[in-house]
Amino acid sequence: MLHNLNKNKQMKSARTQRPPAMPVAPKKKDSKFGLLVAILIAAGAIYAGFTHKDEIVEDFSPPPKAPEVIVVEDEPTPVVATKPVVKVEPKPVVVTKPTPPKLTTQQIFDKALKEYKDAVDKNVEKVGLSVWCPSVAEFQGLSQPQREVLHLMKYVSGTEEASNLRTSIEKKYNLEHKIYPTIQYQLWKNVKDRCRAIAKYSRQGVLLEYHFGELNNDWNATKEPILENWSFLKDVAFMWENALFTGTPQIVSGNNGENIVERRTLYVPYVVMKDNDMASKNQYAVAEFQILLGEEGITFEDMSPGRGQLYRGRGVMTHVDVLGYILESHQ
């Protein structure tokens, strides 16, 4: 009985528990219906392709990107303090000339010297040589060498007009060197060249010339007795390099009776550097010395007044005087 009860419970339990669901195949009716729909859609597409062929455009390009949006942050506008505008009148345009090259000291002096000579030439042409330079009127019966240098003396005129002209040009160019001594030096160089030519072609032979350093040393060693008589020589600048020996030598015995020396005449141009009784400042002249020339050097024995020239109207020996003496001693 019990066995039958258990068997009935098992059979009832079996009827209540369903088996797991099995996959169910789609109904054939639904499958056929979907196929029919697909065929109709394709047929419609084909029909539309034949009827609207030109309107179909295939586009395989990627879709357009969205435009980039750049956000610019506005900066604060700076506050600028402006000054009141002042009206300025236009300045006139100044056209400057190019600056000429700077001249050297020598070039400046040469320019001043040329201006001085040109001015002298015009004055001499206007008033005559004897008025501009009165000393030339004293020379008469000159030899040819003397006449060759006489016209050059117009540049060394001692008149007030000539002196003022030199001073004004020196100030104008702010010259370091004075015109007067330079002109005198040039004139004396011309005289010395003429004296050399006279001596070269004469019977007496060439002029003797010594180094100016030796002459200067000999003068300093023996000048005291001469300065006692001619004190103005203390204030002169001798041009020893232009000194000239001339005249026929005189053979004399030395102090001990054994040495034989020659007595000669020496002409030395000079420039007076200070005012004195003999000549004005920067006066130029020629000193005539009697010297003894021996083995031990030169002894300045005396200085004569240049055959009276120091006491004549022009006061000193001149270039023309020296030329005349050289010419006379070599004839």
| pLDDT tens per residue across span 261-314 | 788 888 888 887 776 555 555 666 788 888 888 777 788 988 875 544 444 444
State mean pLDDT over 12-19: 50
Question: In 10 A of CB 121, how many CB atoms?
Answer: 13
Comparing 140 with 77, the larger pLDDT belongs to 140
Residue 140 CA to residue 137 CA, distance in Å, equals: 8
pLDDT of residue 19: 52
Do 317 and 239 fall into the same domain? Answer: yes
Angle between helices 160-173 and 179-200 (to 10 degrees): 110
* Residue 79 included in any domain: no
Q: Is the pTM of this model over 0.95?
A: no
pLDDT at 57 over 60: no
* Residue 96 included in any domain: no
Task: Choose among 122, 119, 149: nearest CA to 136.
Answer: 149
State mean pLDDT over 63-75: 63
* Residue 3 included in any domain: no
Do 317 and 220 fall into the same domain? Answer: yes
Last residue of a domain, one of 200, 225, 253: 200
Do 219 and 316 fall into the same domain? Answer: yes
Last residue of a domain, one of 160, 177, 200: 200
Tell me the two tokens of residue 8: 């009935």
pLDDT band for 158, please (50, 70, 90 cuts): confident
Do 230 and 325 fall into the same domain? Answer: yes
Do 168 and 221 fall into the same domain? Answer: no
* Residue 247 included in any domain: yes
Place of tokens 């003999």: 278
Per the DSSP assignment, residues forming a β-bridge with 262 are 251, 293
Comparing 210 with 167, the larger pLDDT belongs to 167
**First vs last C-alpha separation in the chain:** 205
What type of residue sits at position 235? Answer: D
Comparing 155 with 35, the larger pLDDT belongs to 155
Residue 108: phi, psi to the nearest 5? Answer: -65, -45
State mean pLDDT over 224-252: 81
The answer to whether 289 and 266 are in contact (CB under 8 A) is yes
Do 192 and 121 fall into the same domain? Answer: yes
Do 219 and 113 fall into the same domain? Answer: no
Do 251 and 151 fall into the same domain? Answer: no
* Residue 13 included in any domain: no
Do 219 and 188 fall into the same domain? Answer: no
pLDDT of residue 75: 64
Task: Choose among 283, 286, 282: nearest CA to 266.
Answer: 286
The answer to whether 160 and 123 are in contact (CB under 8 A) is no
- Round the average pLDDT of the chain to a whole number and report it: 76
* Residue 78 included in any domain: no
Per the DSSP assignment, residues forming a β-bridge with 303 are 289
Do 182 and 226 fall into the same domain? Answer: no
pLDDT of residue 8: 54
Last residue of a domain, one of 170, 200, 230: 200
Residue-wise over 156-176: b if at least 16 C-beta within 10 A, else e?
bbbeeebeebbeebbeebebe
Q: Is 170 helix (H, G, I), strand (E, B) or coil?
A: helix
The 10s digit of each residue's pLDDT in 74-133 is 666 666 666 666 666 777 877 777 787 899 999 999 999 999 999 999 999 999 998 998
Do 162 and 225 fall into the same domain? Answer: no
Tell me the two tokens of residue 295: 């083995």
pLDDT band for 171, please (50, 70, 90 cuts): very high
Comparing 55 with 271, the larger pLDDT belongs to 271
Structural domain including 122 reads: 105-200
* Residue 125 included in any domain: yes
Task: Choose among 190, 125, 198: nearest CA to 152.
Answer: 190
Overall domain count for the chain = 2
* Residue 84 included in any domain: no
pLDDT band for 246, please (50, 70, 90 cuts): confident
Residue 19 CA to residue 242 CA, distance in Å, equals: 161
pLDDT of residue 33: 63
Do 268 and 184 fall into the same domain? Answer: no
